Chain A
Amino acid sequence: GNSVTQMEGPVTLSEEAFLTINCTYTATGYPSLFWYVQYPGEGLQLLLKATKADDKGSNKGFEATYRKETTSFHLEKGSVQVSDSAVYFCALSDSNYQLIWGAGTKLIIKP
């Protein structure tokens, strides 16, 4: 079946460091891919998305590229801030419109 695997956390970085959170997926067909973010005490919100191969989603300095050849959608940011501390979820939307969620990766940014 369809699945999403993302790197385990927590990921702890210093402010202004480069961030990568890995996400790989297994799916039939051509899923859409998402990164959601959950700030402390809040629900999840969409961070960025990509709906076809080679698309790059971007928002708030974060980027992720839909790589069909490696079935990956890694999240990157060039210079993280303390305010980026949150839990990040990778997800896919399959051909039945069902959302499949990764386990989440907690990011901690230290000043």
Chain B
Amino acid sequence: SAVISQKPSRDICQRGTSLTIQCQVDSQVTMMFWYRQQPGQSLTLIATANQGSEATYESGFVIDKFPISRPNLTFSTLTVSNMSPEDSSIYLCSVENRGLYTEAFFGQGTRLTVV
């Protein structure tokens, strides 16, 4: 299992500004995942963050809008840049235990409201 600490837990931001979300894991992991959960909707994978290489972004997400850092095996950040009200969502950090099957562990999420 893994314990994931994510902060901030919530924030209200002005449009045009940027917010950096931090994710700390209690053990070393190769891959960390960032998801977006829009109100009333399911999880959408934004990108996969590997230590020592560029993050891999899913279709519809770009590095200029969602830059990701992964400086070591226990930490990652996601920045939501030049925010607009459409960016209002819950952002979730996750790690996965892949073996016979994949089990995901999540941080508590960051509830972002852009005004």
Q: Which residues does A use to contact B, with CB under 8 Å? A: 32, 34, 36, 41-46, 49, 51, 89, 91, 93, 97-99, 101-104, 106
Q: Is B53 at the interface (CB under 8 A from chain A)?
A: no
B residues apposed to A, CB below 8 Å: 4, 6, 9, 40-43, 92, 96, 98, 100-109, 111
Q: Which residues of B are found within 8 Å of A99, using beta-carbon distances?
A: 96, 102, 104
- Residue on B nearest A33 in the bound complex, by CB: B101
The answer for the CA separation of A93 and B41 in the assembled complex, in Å, is: 20
The distance in angstroms between the C-alpha atoms of A99 and B98, with both chains bound, is 10
Closest to B103 in A: A46
Query: Can you pick out 27 interface pairs between chain A and chain B where the beta carbons lie within 8 Å of each other?
Result: A32-B100, A41-B108, A41-B109, A42-B109, A43-B6, A43-B92, A44-B43, A44-B104, A45-B105, A45-B106, A46-B103, A46-B104, A49-B101, A49-B103, A51-B100, A89-B42, A91-B104, A93-B103, A97-B98, A97-B101, A97-B102, A99-B96, A99-B102, A99-B104, A103-B41, A103-B42, A104-B42
B102, A101: Cβ atoms closer than 8 Å: no
Does B107 contact A43, Cβ atoms closer than 8 Å? yes
The 3 A-B pairs of least Cβ separation, nearest first, read A43-B106, A32-B101, A93-B102
Q: Smallest CB–CB gap between B7 and chain A, Å?
A: 12
Q: Is the pair A43, B108 in contact by a Cβ cutoff of 8 Å?
A: yes
How many A-B residue pairs have C-beta atoms within 8 angstroms? Tell me. 53
Known: A34-B103, A91-B104. 18 other contacts (CB 8 A): A32-B100, A32-B101, A32-B102, A41-B108, A41-B111, A43-B4, A43-B6, A43-B92, A43-B109, A44-B92, A45-B105, A49-B101, A49-B103, A89-B42, A93-B101, A97-B101, A99-B104, A104-B42
> What is the CA–CA distance of A87 and B92 in the complex, to the nearest angstrom?
15
Kindly list chain A residues whose C-beta atoms are within 8 Å of the C-beta of B102: 32, 93, 97-99
B6, B9, B40, B111, most chain A CB atoms within 10 A = B40
Name B111's closest neighbour in chain A (CB-CB).
A41
Kindly list chain B residues whose C-beta atoms are within 8 Å of the C-beta of A106.
Answer: 40
CA distance A25 to B100 in the complex (A): 19
